Amino acid sequence: MINLQPDDLQKRVFSGIQPTGNLHLGNYLGAIKNWVNLQNEISSIFSIVDLHAITVPQEPLKLKSSTHEVAAAIIASGIDTNKSILFNQSSVKEHSELAWIFNCVCRIGWLNRMTQFKEKAGKNRENSSVGLYGYPVLMAADILLYKSTHVPVGDDQKQHIELARDIAVSFNNMFTSENEVDFFTPPEPQIIGEATRVMSLKDGTKKMSKSDPSFASRINLTDSKEEISNKIRKAKTDSYPLPETIEELKERPEAHNLISIYSSLSDQTLQEALNEFSGKGFSHFKPKLVDLAVETLNPISCEMRNLLKDTREIDKILKNGKIKAREIAEPVLKDVKNLVGFVN
Ligand code: AQP
């Protein structure tokens, strides 16, 4: 359960996920699992961020089917679309409009510090899209368009939320006069749980990622029992038993990763999970992790398959979400345009 103060009921959650392929255990433990808990405590908006997806080339038909799949995964994981808003980003045009205004607030120096762009562009920087470079500005627009206060994300997105905070403060300084209440509240990242950065099963120093060419590096939400079992059994480990303390995990990235996954799936602290397995080898631990992962993911993949039988139903949910999202976004953007000095 997430520990929030009573006045948090007035606050708003926003978070997004890209339709760029199969969702994996990192997306689930770092983001979606926390969304499901938060939706019961704060009014929540979740978006399938297709505008972000096209910052790297996407095959149009694949983008459509991935959007349906991600929607199905989010619903199957427990997001209640009667309670929370779920929509795809490109259907709410205000995201792009606010992003442009924020492009004129954000400084190039701030974007130059973003590590995700450096990692994703790699040596191909000159050939990367302008969209990939401006990705964090669009993300700031996504969050602030709904005046969101809480942003549940994996640890990898922390720097982008910090940039959104800088943009909010800078916008307030540029366009809100001294005796007025600040227009935007800087949003807070919500990096929750014991698996905030799930690592590759093949290399404990690399993030589990949709774009990793190795299928064995990640557990997808749609994996069968056999696939989950094979991937965990073959996951890289060392030859020592599991230790007693978190400190002793420091130099053992693969062991740290697997026990963190176990503790997050079983809703225990890392120390509680270590208490259960300290002194035991991976041949004892891995089958327990397989059972727990299958127990958690199997119902999700079954429900996803059900939902995907009728994508028209998913389209209906997304359309309804778009209407509700625009009811919030439209007046916020109108106020922003007014503050900037546009004639509306
Ligand atoms: N390995 C991870 N551990 C914990 N959280 C993670 N997230 C992603 N990977 C991990 C969180 O999932 C949410 C949605 O992520 P996304 O799909 O929008 O973007 P991403 O971070 O680019 O995802 P990938 O899998 O790493 O995709 P590629 O391969 O395209 O780069 C976010 O809250 C993110 O923190």
What band does 10 get if pLDDT is binned at 50, 70 and 90? confident
User: At 159, which CATH number?
Assistant: 3.40.50.620
Q: Is residue 294 part of a domain?
A: yes
Ligand 1 mean position to 15 CA, how many Å? 12
Number of domains in the chain: 2
What number is the average pLDDT over the span 109-121?
96
Residues 181 and 296 in one domain: no
Contact present, 201 and 216 (Cβ < 8 Å): yes
Ligand 1 mean position to 18 CA, how many Å? 8
* 109: exposed, middle or buried (Cβ count in 10 Å: 0-12, 13-18, 19+): exposed
What residue numbers bound the domain in which 84 lies? 12-194+310-340
260 Cβ closer than 6 Å to some ligand 1 atom: no
Q: Is residue 5 part of a domain?
A: no
Residues 261 and 317 in one domain: no
Q: Is residue 89 part of a domain?
A: yes
Distance, in Å, from the CA atom of 280 to the CA atom of 47, rounded to the nearest integer, reads 42
Residues 256 and 316 in one domain: no
Nearest CA to ligand 1 atom 33: 153
Helix 60-76, helix 282-307: angle, nearest 10: 110
Ligand 1 mean position to 132 CA, how many Å? 15
Residues 17 and 141 in one domain: yes
154 Cβ closer than 6 Å to some ligand 1 atom: yes
Q: Is residue 58 part of a domain?
A: yes
Residues 40 and 97 in one domain: yes
31 Cβ closer than 6 Å to some ligand 1 atom: yes
Contact present, 207 and 199 (Cβ < 8 Å): yes
Ligand 1 mean position to 210 CA, how many Å? 7
Q: Is residue 293 part of a domain?
A: yes
Name the active-site residue from 11, 207, 231, 286. Answer: 207
Residues 274 and 297 in one domain: yes
Alpha carbon of 65 to those of 39, 221, 223, 242: distances in Å? Answer: 26, 15, 17, 41
| Residue 2 confidence (pLDDT) | 46
Q: Is residue 206 part of a domain?
A: no
Contact present, 186 and 209 (Cβ < 8 Å): no
Q: Is residue 199 part of a domain?
A: no
Identify which has the larger pLDDT, 4 or 109: 109
322 catalytic residue (yes or no): no
18 Cβ closer than 6 Å to some ligand 1 atom: yes
Residues 186 and 173 in one domain: yes
User: At 303, which CATH number?
Assistant: 1.10.240.10
What number is the average pLDDT over the span 230-253?
96
Residues 143 and 258 in one domain: no
| Residue 22 confidence (pLDDT) | 85
* 3: exposed, middle or buried (Cβ count in 10 Å: 0-12, 13-18, 19+): exposed
User: Does 178 score more than 90 pLDDT?
Assistant: no
Mean pLDDT computed over every residue of the chain: 95
Helix 253-265, helix 270-277: angle, nearest 10: 110
Q: In what order do the strands lie in the sheet with 43-48?
A: 85-88, 43-48, 12-17, 150-152, 188-190
